[in-house]
Amino acid sequence: MIRQLWTLSIHTRTFLRRHMPTNILLDAIRTRRGLKWGVPVMLLAAPYLLTARVCTTLIDNGAPGWLHLVVLLSVWNALKFIVVGPSSVTLLIHARIRESADQRV
């Protein structure tokens, strides 16, 4: 039973990693060429947070409950974009240090 759940979670993660736009963008940012775009991509968190805000307002005014899933997805994507900024700066610094050390040799 646990093995089946483990396999299902691996396949789900692989599917989401390959086909969801935010995950594709984050994978592109984690490459060496994409590290410089980490901080500007943090600005993409704002529309996601705005979407979550609008949906919660709609829910409070009587909209269907399935909008809770949209709120959850929007907040999750916003958090991913907020975290990628500082982490990409850190990775970029490490990459430049490695590159400068390789040039010295």
Local confidence band at 104 (pLDDT 50, 70, 90 cut-offs): confident
The three-point CA angle 49-24-80 to 5° equals: 35
Residue 58 pLDDT greater than 90, yes or no: yes
**How far apart (Å, rounded) are the C-alpha atoms in residues 2 and 71?**
30
For residue 55, the tally of other CB atoms under 10 A from its CB is 20
Structure tokens at 70: 């949209």
Of the chain, the percentage scoring pLDDT greater than 70 comes to 100
Residue 72 pLDDT greater than 90, yes or no: yes
Structure tokens at 25: 């963008």
**How far apart (Å, rounded) are the C-alpha atoms in residues 73 and 78?**
9
Domain regions of the chain by residue span: 2-104
Longest dimension (CA), the chain: 66
How buried is residue 30: exposed, middle or buried, by Cβ count under 10 Å (0-12/13-18/19+)? middle
pLDDT of residue 39: 92
Local confidence band at 16 (pLDDT 50, 70, 90 cut-offs): confident
- Sorted by sequence, the CB contacts under 8 Å of residue 27 that are 6+ apart come out as 17
Local confidence band at 47 (pLDDT 50, 70, 90 cut-offs): very high
pLDDT of residue 17: 87
Average pLDDT over residues 50-61: 97
